[in-house]
Structure 1
Amino acid sequence: MKIETLPEEFIKAQPIIDTIEAAGYEAYYVGGSVRDTLLGLPIHDVDIATSAYPEEVKSLFNRTVDTGIEHGTVMILDHGTGYETTTFRTESGYQDYRRPDSVKFVRSLKEDLNRRDFTINALALKTDGTIIDYFDGLTDLKNHRIRAVGDPEKRFNEDALRMMRAVRFASQLNFKIDSETIAGIEHHGSLLTKIAVERIHVEFVKMLLGQWPAMGLDVFMETGLYQYCPDFKAYSDQLDQLRNKLKSGLSNETAVWSLIAATFNLSWQQINQLLKHWKSANQLIEDVQTATKAVQAISTQSVDAWVLYQTGKELLVIANEVAYKLGESSYETTALIAQYDALQIHSKKALAITGQDLMAAGVKPGPQLGQALNYLERQVVDGQLTNQNQVLLSTAINYLNEKA
């Protein structure tokens, strides 16, 4: 097969390959960029594979970075763009079920492609548009099929994360996973516990961000892969419900975990625990806790000014998206945003009074100062007070006198 017109990304990278070939070596575009070009999808990274060994590659270019030289990868910096260029290699060992214990550089493209995960990712592209396909990946692309290169049992034993990559690709591409590859996932699911949670996290989120998440979730559940992910084993029923409800992917990672938290009906503390187990950043945890609370309010049609205020515009959009995915929202996002925009203030800093103002009026420093400001904040948000300094000052004095 030959691609008549190559995308601009490949044309820009061609001088790299031309330089390598001029020195007597082979070089090809490989991996996801080739697959996505054939599928008519946007290209993210252009990766190059070559028969030149790392030191030979470095000798051909003025600017290179050793990004993974022990595995044969050198970053070539050209015209402001970095191109990862990796020597053909074979791998062996895999005692940690993720990375090879030893890497051997070879001069054969076929040997290099033979170590890759799936046939649709084991394609190489020449600069003239010719596709090199040793493992019938083109047929699998045509048939919308994800199939391991060679023996699935061996592929997943080498790198257990490939099982999560399979379900992620199913979701992103709307492809089915072939039966032998599914059987390999069933047999090796427990090896997922050997993989760093952070890596599983990335693949799981990408799966739910895909346009056809149910394609990945079906295999994720049916093979039992879910039970080897942090805390998911106890929520099989909820995950089953989710794959039946989720007709399209989420917009971002906060939406993904808010959906999970709402589906599992998690409390504030349980959200914290789950996301800590998934090695999530603190800011993500806080955002998910806030968004999930808003999802509950949207689902029960109990959204009020205080909910809008506490949630904020960005998380409000996410919360309504999640509630909509679950079939539990009767609100239009634009209407919620309009209500939020109509609030007198959107943060405590916007109050027309400060602690200094209260102290100047005779209020002593202490807990009562904070209590008064909290009271004013709630009253202004709820529309019970106008956000004017004198109004707030007199209300605060009356509030504190009544509490005295």
Structure 2
Amino acid sequence: MIVSNLADEFLKAEPVIKSIEEAGFEAYFVGGSVRDTILGLPIHDVDIATSAYPEEIKEIFNKTVDTGIQHGTVMVLDHGEGYEITTFRTESTYQDFRRPDHVEFVRSLEEDLKRRDFTINALAMTHEGRIIDLFDGLQDLENHIIRAVGEADERFNEDALRMMRAIRFASQLDFSIEEKTTIALKKHASLLKKIAIERIHIEFVKLLLGKNPKTGLQHFMTADLARYCPEFDNYMSELTNMAYLDSIKLSSEAAAWSLVIHVLKVSESDISHFLVAWKSSNELISNVQVAIRALNSILDKTIDRELMYETGLELLLTANEIATIFNRNIPIEILESDYEQLPIKSKKEMLVNGGQLIKEVGIQPGEKLGRILATLEHQVLMEKIPNESTQLLKLAERLASELD
């Protein structure tokens, strides 16, 4: 197979591959970029594999960075772009089910490709666009199948995260998982305990943001992978219900976790504990907490301008995304219109601030100042006073005297 009209990302990297070939070595585009270009999907970056050893790559190019030289990876800097070049390699046993005990550099493309996870990712492409397919990956792409390269048992024992990657690809690409690979998923599910939560987190979110999360979630449950993820063991029946939801279309990580929290009926007081167990950032935890409060109000039809103001448009739309899955959403044009009609969108838009109240009204820093600022903000939001500095300063002066 020859791919015509190669994406710009490949064309920009072509001089790098040609330089390696001119030095007497082989070099190919490999991995997800090759898979996605065949599927007609956007290309985000390109990976290059070569028969040249790291030290040989460093002799070919003037500007390189040892990004992972112990694993055979050197970054080549060319015309302002960075390209990771990885030497063909084989890997030893994986005693921790995550990393090989050691890697061995080889000159054979076949030896390199046979260690990869799935046939659709074990494709190589020359800079002219010729596809090298040693494991029937093209056939599996055509049939929309996820299949382990060689023995699935071996691939999952080498790196147990590949089990999460299998169900993530099933969701992202809307592919089915081949029978032997499916059997191996269930057989080795417990190995997921060996994998860092952060890595599982990334794959699970990608699954939820995929084209067909329902497919990925059903494999997640039937393979019993959920049981070896943080907190999920306490919510197996709810997760099963989630795996049969139709029309899951999510646009962000906050939306993904908001859906999980809602379906699992995690209480607002437990959201932080739940997401901390998943090694989530403080920002994500805060966004989910805010989105869940907005979601509950949308579902209960109790949303008001105060909640809209406190939530912000981005997280309002996130909450409404979740409500849409259950056909209880607010039409987007109405939600956006209501939000735009708020007199202010944040306290930064207030035409007085603490410094002015200290200087012009003589209010001292402290709790009293904070209470007055909050009252002014609320009065403007509820349109009981215009957002105009003279009137706000007069009200602040009156409030200060009442609080004395």
Residue aligned with 1:74, SS: strand
**Structure 1 runs of 4+ off > 6 angstroms?**
400-404
C-alpha spacing 1:15/1:379, structure 2 compared with 1 (3 Å): same
Residue 222 of structure 2: aligned partner: 222
Residue 162 of structure 2: aligned partner: 162
Gaps of 5+ in 2: none
Residue 102 of structure 2: aligned partner: 102
Is the contact between residue 144 and residue 175 of structure 1 (CA under 8 Å) also seen in structure 2?
yes
Tell me how far 1:90 sits from its aligned partner: 0.5
Instruction: Give the TM-score, by structure 2 length.
Output: 0.93
Is the contact between residue 246 and residue 326 of structure 1 (CA under 8 Å) also seen in structure 2?
no
Amino acid paired to 1:345 = I
Q: How far apart in 2 are the matches of 1:25 and 1:366?
A: 70
Q: How far apart in 2 are the matches of 1:351 and 1:4?
A: 57
Pairing of 1:1-400 with structure 2 (within 5 A):
1-329=1-329, 331-355=330-354, 360-361=360-361, 366-393=366-393, 395-396=395-396
C-alpha spacing 1:4/1:283, structure 2 compared with 1 (3 Å): closer
Gaps of 5+ in 1: none
Instruction: Give the TM-score, by structure 1 length.
Output: 0.93
Q: How far apart in 2 are the matches of 1:120 and 1:97?
A: 22
Q: How far apart in 2 are the matches of 1:27 and 1:324?
A: 47
Amino acid paired to 2:272 = N
Residue aligned with 1:345, SS: coil
C-alpha spacing 1:265/1:391, structure 2 compared with 1 (3 Å): farther
- Residues 213-267 of structure 1: CA distance to partner in whole angstroms, max 9, x if unpaired? 1121110111111111111121222222223224243111111112222222333
Q: How far apart in 2 are the matches of 1:364 and 1:62?
A: 62
C-alpha spacing 1:358/1:21, structure 2 compared with 1 (3 Å): closer
Amino acid paired to 1:56 = E
Q: How far apart in 1 are the matches of 2:362 and 2:120?
A: 74
C-alpha spacing 1:304/1:20, structure 2 compared with 1 (3 Å): same
Tell me how far 1:395 sits from its aligned partner: 4.6
Amino acid paired to 1:332 = P
Residue aligned with 2:295, SS: helix
Amino acid paired to 2:175 = F
Is the contact between residue 210 and residue 248 of structure 1 (CA under 8 Å) also seen in structure 2?
no
Amino acid paired to 1:79 = H
C-alpha spacing 1:362/1:111, structure 2 compared with 1 (3 Å): closer
Is the contact between residue 73 and residue 86 of structure 2 (CA under 8 Å) also seen in structure 1?
yes
Is the contact between residue 30 and residue 48 of structure 2 (CA under 8 Å) also seen in structure 1?
yes
Residue aligned with 2:244, SS: helix
Tell me how far 1:137 sits from its aligned partner: 0.9
Tell me how far 1:366 sits from its aligned partner: 4.4
- Residues 295-317 of structure 1: CA distance to partner in whole angstroms, max 9, x if unpaired? 11111111101011100122112
Range with greater deviation from structure 2 (139-148 or 231-240): 231-240
Residue aligned with 2:45, SS: coil
